[in-house]
Structure 1
């Protein structure tokens, strides 16, 4: 019967402990933080109007805000779920600070074009579309880019949906369970491999 390999066992044990630690961190740390954060967001729509932030700050999600768009540099489309598509203008704001993205409204027409030259926009702060992979959210608290969702759509577009904290993901419990499952699977696979390696080969004894 072969001995249990020392170095591979240590490596697998460390990996399993790391996965368990990540699971505990997601459930014991990140989950309560997210629940407290969602409770704050729930009250944001009723708070006073704030200036649109110069740097992303997720604590301001769903707060009322306004900007003056000197002119839109581009108007692009992004998915809007059951609403179809949302049209988003990248606005020049001049002395007010860096450019701001404005969600002008929604449409079910994938080829919809709008003629909008800018102007005063009021609405609420929300997340801009992001290409950041979901896995990145497991390891970083970096805030996502923000945009202003217009409370009145541009002519020819449908109204934007109202603020909904249900749209803010809270997957930390699922992430924690996934890490525990990964740890269990890794441990089981390694244990089976070691048992097979140590099993006596048939016919090896006289």
Structure 2
């Protein structure tokens, strides 16, 4: 009997169903990533042309619509209620740490995030306390896990204003660009398809190595 025929005849039912279900999930995730890739490319194409358009009102709530991403805008920060520090790039191309202010913009409401500038030391204490800010609309840094994004449980990214000018002691942050937005969905799709293929191969090899019962013909 051919080896392939033996393997097919000896496949255990329950483990095989479990493996097939897992492979189906991996393939579905790969197809989902391909769909997301097309959506991301369309969004980036729209956003790439936004920086040259007229200024718009700063969006108060997430998510940021693609037609507003990278558009010029402004807001008034009444006071800074907190700071975030993120690795980033300055307008002159140097690297450092972005100082992101969490601003109150009124008595109530979600407030606003402002990338005030870039410093060289992550523990630098910004002296900026608020005021009128002009810049470009972007999104806050994305620290959401891949699992929450795949399951649809991830919170949308809040809008963030990249200030065009920085206070004394800071460098202006790099102007947001579509080139800075990662689009790794094709690589993720290939990984899921690869995992599915590897799972099938490993399972078939494991079945093939199972001892043959004495009554089985060779």
Tell me if both proteins adopt one fold, taking TM over 0.5 as the criterion.
yes
Cα deviation code 1:29-84 (max 9, x no counterpart): 22211111110110111122111112113312211111111111123322215521
The partner residue of 2:99 within 68, 73, 87 is 87
TM-score (norm 1): 0.87
Deviation beyond 6 Å, 4+ runs, structure 1: none
The 5-angstrom pairing of residues 65-104 of structure 1 reads 65-80=73-88, 83-94=95-106, 97-104=109-116
Q: Which structure 1 segments of 5+ residues have no match? A: none
Tell me if structure 1 keeps the 8 A contact 2:73–2:134. yes
The partner residue of 2:18 within 11, 31, 44 is 11
User: Alignment length, in residue pairs?
Assistant: 202
Distance 1:76 1:176 in 2: 32
Distance 2:122 2:23 in 1: 47
The 5-angstrom pairing of residues 108-147 of structure 1 reads 108-140=120-152, 142-147=155-160
Please provide the CA RMSD for this pair. Answer: 2.4
Cα deviation code 1:92-141 (max 9, x no counterpart): 11168431111110011223222222110011111213432244344447
Distance 2:101 2:61 in 1: 18
Q: Partner of 1:157: helix, strand, or coil?
A: coil
The partner residue of 2:32 within 13, 16, 25 is 25
Q: Which structure 2 segments of 5+ residues have no match? A: 1-5
Tell me if structure 2 keeps the 8 A contact 1:78–1:87. yes
Distance 1:142 1:113 in 2: 29
Corresponding residue of 1:190: 203
Q: Is 1:106 aligned to residue 118 of structure 2? A: yes
